[in-house]
Amino acid sequence: MFKPVLVTGASSGIGEATAVYLAHKGFRVFAAARRAAALETLSGMGAGRIHPVTLDVTDEASIAEATATIAEEAGGPLYGLVNNAGVAVAGPVEQVPGEEWRRQFETNVIGLVQMTQAILPQMRAANQGRIINIGSVAGRIVAPFMGPYGASKHAVEGVTDALRRELVGTGLRVSLIRPGFINTHFGEQEQDSLARYMGEDSPYRDHLHKFAKWHERKHPSAAPATVVAEAVHKALTAARPHSRYTVPSSFLGFLALRNLMPSAVVDRVFGRITGVE
Ligand code: NDP
């Protein structure tokens, strides 16, 4: 009862839904993000079992401070770490500046790795615990103009596979959740990012417009964040958690297409559905 878990990126979207869901399911949840005010609203939810923690996963001092605060409040090792914090940088590979690529990888990849390094030793000492990384369907198949984001989620797949295999023989388990489109504000961030490259002089202008038009309809009509929260709960509680959970399951067909069909065919399908052809 009340096993302690840490959810990063819990001030909105999937992280917030996951924090509330897990608290209602009997976990004690440390809900972490940069925006302390947004986290405060969570304190009154989840049967009083949600504890807000200010955390920037790209800042080592912040990670150390948050880890110390949680250790003091939890009074024992964490049972679960849900590496959910993420940002999306979109745009043509040719044009997105290096600093934006770095920002993408600093949060989605290095941040995830440094959080894992901060929490894993206490789980290892207890010889039990679950690490759950939030990847993406984009970690297997990348749409045009989603290069920085897709590349970061491909890296998350690699990190997760390595870690899972390194922890073989211990009581620790590692799972990756691959959400498809989910109805959060993430889509707005991606649209803002795409808009930066639509200037008159951009060689990608027409294709970007078509892609952005297709993309803007996706998040608002997508599955709710609770489908991801349910998958996280399964990964935390199953006796033998899966290595990967793809949610909603309708995206499995898309991944099968990527795995089974030649790239030329997949490219044509992408072109047809996004208008980039
Ligand atoms: P949101 O933008 O709603 O949530 C992102 C969260 O990450 C926020 O709570 C934000 O909080 C936090 N965050 C961002 N940067 C940092 C940082 N440096 N340190 C700590 N926290 C940070 O988007 P979603 O809920 O949709 O996304 C959550 C995860 O799900 C991401 O990893 C995303 O890649 C993944 N995902 C989302 C999909 C979707 O369609 N929505 C599909 C596939 C995967 P704050 O700004 O307060 O720090």
pLDDT of amino acid 68 = 98
Q: Which of 7, 12, 89, 140 to mutate to test the pocket of ligand 1 (most atoms within 8 A of CB)?
A: 12
CA 84 / ligand 1 centre spacing (Å): 6
pLDDT the model gives residue 173: 98
- pLDDT (tens digit, 9 = 90+) per residue, 201-255? 999 999 999 999 999 999 999 999 999 999 999 999 999 999 999 999 999 998 9
Cβ(13) – ligand 1 distance below 6 Å:
yes
Q: How far apart are CA 102 and CA 120, in angstroms?
A: 25
pLDDT for 44 equals 87
Sign for the pseudo-dihedral over CA of 23, 27, 32, 37: positive
Beta-carbon-side half-sphere exposure of residue 11 (alpha carbons within 13 Å): 16
Average pLDDT of span 63-76: 97
pLDDT > 70 in the chain, percent: 100
Q: What is the mean pLDDT of the chain?
A: 97
Q: Is the pLDDT of residue 263 over 90?
A: yes
All residues at 6 or more sequence positions from 96 whose CB lies less than 8 Å from its CB, including other chains: 89, 90, 147, 148, 197
Q: Is the CB of 66 under 6 A from ligand 1?
A: no
Catalytic residue IDs: 149
* Peptide bond just before 248 cis, omega within 30 deg: yes
Regarding the beta carbon of 156 and ligand 1, being less than 6 Å apart is answered no
β partners of residue 133: 83, 176
Q: Which two tokens stand for residue 11?
A: 């001030």
For the question of whether the overall pTM of this predicted structure is more than 0.75, the answer is yes
Residues 147, 11: Cα–Cα separation, whole Å:
26
Count of CB atoms situated within 10 Å of the CB of 162: 11
Residue 15 alpha carbon, nearest atom of ligand 1: 25
**pLDDT of 168:** 98
Query: How many angstroms separate the CA atoms of 191 and 126, rounded?
Result: 43
Using only C-alpha atoms, what is the Rg of the chain?
19
How far, in Å, is the centroid of ligand 1 from the Cα of 183? 12
- Cα atoms found within 13 Å of the Cα of residue 183, Cβ hemisphere only: 8
CA of 10 relative to ligand 1 center, distance in Å: 8
pLDDT digits (tens, 9 = 90+) for 122-159: 999 999 999 999 999 999 999 999 999 999 999 999 99
- Segment 93-110, tens digit of pLDDT: 999 999 999 999 999 999
